[in-house]
Amino acid sequence: MDKTYNPHAIEQQWYQHWEENSYFTPSGTGSPYSIVIPPPNVTGSLHMGHAFQDTIMDTLIRLKRMQQHDTLWQVGTDHAGIATQMLVERKVQAEEGLTRHDLGRDKFLDKVWEWKEESGGNITRQLRRLGASVDWDRERFTMDDGFYTAVQEAFIRLYEDGLIYRGKRLVNWDPKLHTAISDLEVVSEDEAGHLWHMRYPLADGATTANGDNYIVVATTRPETMLGDTAVAVHPEDERYQHLVGQFIELPLVGRRIPIIADDYVDQEFGTGCVKITPAHDFNDYAMGQRHGLTMINVLDQDAAILATPEVYNTEGKSIEHSETIPAAYQGLDRYAARDGIVADLQGLGQLEKIEDHTLKAPRGDRSGLVIEPLLTDQWFVSTKPLAEPAIAAVEDGRIEFVPKQWENTYFAWMRDIQDWCISRQLWWGHRIPAWYDDAGKFYVGRSEADVRAKYNLGDINLRQDEDVLDTWFSSGLWTFGTMGWPDMTEALKRYHPTDVLVTGFDIIFFWVARMIMMTMHLMKHEDGSDQVPFKTIYVTGLIRDENGDKMSKSKGNVLDPLDLIDGISLEDLLAKRTGNMMQPQLAKKIDKQTRKHFPEGMAAYGTDALRFTLCSLASTGRDIKFDLGRIEGNRNFCNKIWNAASYVLMNCEDQDCGQHGDAVELSLADRWILSRLQRTQQKVLSALDSYRFDHAAEALYSFICNEYCAWYLELSKPVLWDDNASPEQLRGTRQTLVQVLESALRLAHPLMPYITEEIWQKVKPLVGKTGPSIMLEAYPEFTADMVDEQAEADLNWVRDVIEGVRNIRGEMNISPAKPIPLLFSKGQESDQAKLEANRSFLIKLAKLESVTWLPAGEEAPLSATALVGQMEVLVPMAGLIDKDAELARLTKELAKLNGEIKRFNGKLSNAKFVDNAPAEVVDKEREKLAEAEAAAATLQQQVAKIEAI
């Protein structure tokens, strides 16, 4: 073994070895256990969120594989419609100065495929670096041929089942990307704006209660007045009740529009009068539907004012009209039009006032532009009928959320779900399988030929729908689409439903909910009942930076998991964080921050340390502040394991470690560590079973560091270095050293695959194992009768003595190099027996010169005192210890004891406590009181003794 732990040197080769030997391939035997990876964007790169989730998944898969399940971890990537298309558009623009329209659809798509081929390997390479044991042989892509078939099949079935429809509806329109987007892709944030109060003149000489011949409407979007088709008031609003049914003469436009009553209107807000523009606002649209209002669209695809408005009835049917838009606004961008209209109203004296007002601006999450509600022809999924079974599946436990609280979020959304707009006016994606004839009638089918045959269309002209499907439509099929659906393949029969989905809460709606709906509708068990996509949803938190801020490129606080693994120089880190920025003006600040946080770049911590850290932080499913201190500590933990293994091998390689079956004699320490190992196995197993990766990590850390390394390795030395030790004793200790190490490695393997494999390969012959890889070995099990309570109690006695001495040494500043004589006084017979049995442990670990048992009645010299139960452990002060220092130490100890005694007494003198608390609790308190009192008395005597001189 190399002298020092170097993750880089060991991690490279093992992954390749595992993959080449097909260890990731499902074994085909044992009970199936399957996970699908949430497909990352094919052109993306791995971020901390991926690293986190993939670590969790790999830990589960490795655990189950070692538990002899038939494990499938399905891998693949997503085509990520908008994101990828935008990226390639930018690239083409930068490199060739062309837009996608310059290229045309086919050529542009060629470019996207080229880019996919070029960069698609990036993310899979990174997955390999993380140690993800996915089945590469089954790697899929959401736009591969199989998915093409699956998506078509899904669309057609949903259409035929009446769950997909096409219609002219108000949708979120992105004026930059020129596509509809779903509600979920719109993010609303508070922005400063204004509320314009505009006078709308009453027609036909009507007046308000106070004699005005106009009413005032308040709006945040004055420019949409061009499409107003009503003004609404609350039916019970006394100010305006009498005007309901009257008309407004729309300023600048001259259109006569009715005043209607609708209790949607909030009397308190603004003036209590609302202008209604059904074609440009979702609430107005709904009101228009209720009141049969005409819809007048005044905006084009760029959100600029049309020359001629489009007028529709409530069904979305275009109607003949003579509406016009004042020439002054035609062709103006929506904001320019707003300025013009406001100025013109002001000129007419019809602008009452302008108030400051914060509003939620709805922005497209990709383009960042304020989206525009726009009337367009789109395809929709009727979600209500799909949502019902999907809700039921979670209610009745067929699907379980971990942590459970996410169910609420899921239910809340599913019970109020809106129809899903699935068509996108993009080029990169699954083209909608619908064909139109010249009259605009559409036919849904698998291909043009299929459609012709199916609908008996003969030789008429057909053209396919130009639009593609929302990316989430195809990823909604991920669990079964990847396994060969619509064919009922062996894989589907065996591995579907999958066992657990590991994902972030941010895509519960985008993906998880839709996956459940689509899967339950399309996938059936043999008895015809719905299949769920997965039985458990483990929801992870978000990884944030050390300040709790979201990691983002524009903030320059992104940590790249690969940098944590491999390390990175300050220069490279700066280049990475400030290069190729969307907002170059931020570069300077980021540069400064980065220099401050990472003056020397980042150290290489290795994959195992990163994975272990991510596991140890994976507690409640809440967000995680990623603290570099943790990964550094865990790198040191890896180093610790490495050095411990080095010690074990040094003492056991080429030695008889009992692997040949010869008799062994186990020391107390041997029996103790074996017992502790069992308890650790129990803890780790139950932690992993309940998705508490943090508890599993903690149990491993504390066992390996604080028990195996800190105590057991030290306790092995007195045996191994004892010239008089018998072969049985030597064998016993060597056997325990290697067995416990080997078990601990297997126990830790799912979390830290590389270092455990590297060391295991060297240790395996010493425990008589011949398997090719630790990842194929059996996972340790908990065996209750291997817990040795007596050994644990006895060793605690040994530890107490040693710690008592160390405490005196530390507090009294006695050099660790100085061997000291030790006296035992007032002990029981059992203490004496323990002393004799463990003399060598005490001498070695407490660095003692001598150990003397004082018989009862024999006076001890003036000493510093430590207590182990009732027994006094004495370090004679002569020449070693300063009297005042010992007095101070004793006084501190006494103060602590007296505090405890007071508390115990308080409790026990409370009759209510004694009467009501369970007897065993009361007894325990009494016992603790007695112990504390005895200890205090002893220390008090010591104090008196010292003070007497």
What is the β-pairing status of strands 848-853 and 820-825? parallel
357 touches RNA (CB under 7 A)? yes
Residue among 306, 336, 359, 860 that touches RNA (CB under 7 A): 359
Residue 660 interacting with RNA (CB under 7 A): no
Residue whose CB is less far from RNA, 144 or 931: 931
Site for RNA in 529-568 (CB under 7 A): 546, 548, 550
User: Can residue 364 be called a binding residue for RNA (CB under 7 A)?
Assistant: no
| Per-residue contact flags (x/-) with RNA for residues 186 to 215, judged by CB under 7 A | --x------x--------------------
Cβ proximity to RNA: between 17 and 892 the closer is: 892
Q: Which of residues 787-806 bind RNA (CB under 7 A)?
A: 803, 806
**Using CB under 7 A, which residues numbered 456 to 515 contact RNA?**
509
Figure out which of the listed residues 420, 809, 851, 874 binds RNA, where binding follows CB under 7 A: 809
Q: Which residues, 412 to 431, sit near RNA by CB under 7 A?
A: 412-413, 416
| 219 in contact with RNA (CB under 7 A) | yes
The single residue listed with the structure tokens 């004839």 is 437
Choose the stretch contacting RNA; rule: CB under 7 A; options: 152-160, 198-206, 271-279, 592-600: 271-279
Residue with tokens 């499913």: 621
Minimum CB–partner distance for residue 437 and RNA (Å)? 36
Sign of CA dihedral 513, 516, 519, 521: negative
Give least dist CB 792 to RNA, A: 16
The type of residue at 281 is D
| Paired residues of 179 in beta bridges | 174
92 vs 652 by CB, closer to RNA: 652
412, two tokens: 């809340």
Q: Name the residue nearer to RNA (CB basis): 140 or 194.
A: 194
Should residue 813 be labelled a site residue for RNA when binding is judged by CB under 7 A?
yes
3-state secondary structure of 650: helix
Handedness of CA 920, 922, 923, 928 (dihedral sign): positive
Q: Under rule CB under 7 A, which residues in 280-319 are in contact with RNA?
A: 281-284
CA 840 to chain centre: 50
- In this chain, which of 246, 425, 655, 702 binds RNA, going by CB under 7 A? 702
Q: Which of 302, 388, 900, 933 binds RNA (CB under 7 A)?
A: 900
Candidates 925, 945, 776; CA nearest to 872 is 945
- The verdict on 890 binding RNA (CB under 7 A) reads no
Identity of the residue numbered 815: S
What token pair was written down for 654? 């080429």
Q: Which of 25, 207, 208, 220 binds RNA (CB under 7 A)?
A: 220
Quick one: 524 or 892, whose CB is closer to RNA?
892
Binding pattern for the stretch 221-250 against RNA, x by CB under 7 A and - elsewhere: x-----------------------------
Q: Which is nearer to RNA, 254 or 918 (CB)?
A: 918
In the complex, what is the shortest distance from the CB of residue 815 to RNA, in angstroms, rounded to a whole number? 6
- CB closer to RNA out of 483 and 740: 740
CB of 664 to RNA, least distance (A): 22
CA dist list (Å): 233 to 215, 218, 778, 875? 11, 12, 73, 92
Q: Does 918 bind RNA (CB under 7 A)?
A: yes
Total chain residues near RNA (CB under 7 A): 99
Look at residues 500, 503, 496, 531 and name the one whose alpha carbon lies nearest to residue 517: 531
Binding segment for RNA among 199-207, 274-282, 341-349, 867-875 (CB under 7 A)? Answer: 274-282
- Supply the minimum distance, in Å, between the C-beta of residue 61 and RNA: 24
Cβ neighbours, 10 Å, residue 640: 18
Residue list 846-875, contact with RNA (CB under 7 A): 847
Minimum CB distance to RNA, residue 351 (Å) = 15
Residue 771 interacting with RNA (CB under 7 A) = no
Of the residues 646, 682, 773, 898, which one makes contact with RNA according to CB under 7 A: 646
The window from 117-125, 264-272, 491-499, 563-571 that contacts RNA (CB under 7 A) reads: 264-272
Number of other residues whose CB lies within 10 A of the CB of residue 564:
25
Indicate the residue among 717 and 762 with the shorter CB distance to RNA. Answer: 717
How far is residue 187's CA from residue 361's CA, in Å, rounded to a whole number?
8
Give the sign of the dihedral formed by CA 687, CA 688, CA 690, CA 693.
positive
Q: Which stretch binds RNA (CB under 7 A): 36-44, 299-307, 406-414, 461-469?
A: 406-414
462: buried, middle or exposed (CB in 10 Å: 19+, 13-18, 0-12)?
Answer: middle
Q: For the CA atoms of 120, 122, 126, 127, what is the dihedral angle to 10 degrees?
A: 10
- For RNA, the closer of residues 157 and 239 by Cβ is 239
Residue 928 near RNA by CB under 7 A: yes
Single out the residue of 144, 183, 323, 653 in contact with RNA (rule: CB under 7 A). Answer: 183
State the binding string over 613-642 for RNA (x if CB under 7 A, else -). Answer: ----x-xx-xxxx-x-xx-xx-xx-xxx--
The tokens for 17 are 């070895």
Sign of the CA dihedral running 892, 894, 897, 901: negative
Exposure string for 321-330, b = 16+ CB within 10 A, e = fewer = eebebeeebe
Rounded Cα distance, 23 and 471, in Å: 32
Partners of 379 in the β-ladder: 166
Q: How far is the CB of 2 from RNA (least distance, A)?
A: 10
CA distance 455 to 451: 6
| Dist. CA 180–CA 376, nearest whole Å | 8
Q: Which stretch binds RNA (CB under 7 A): 23-31, 122-130, 266-274, 671-679?
A: 266-274
Distance CA 709, CA 222 (A): 73
Max distance between CA atoms of the chain, in angstroms, equals 120
> Which of 225, 240, 335 lies closest to 284 in space, CA to CA?
225
Residue of 752, 915, 825 lying closest to 5 (CA atoms): 752
Is-contact 680 699, C-beta < 8 A? Answer: yes
**Residue 810 interacting with RNA (CB under 7 A):** yes
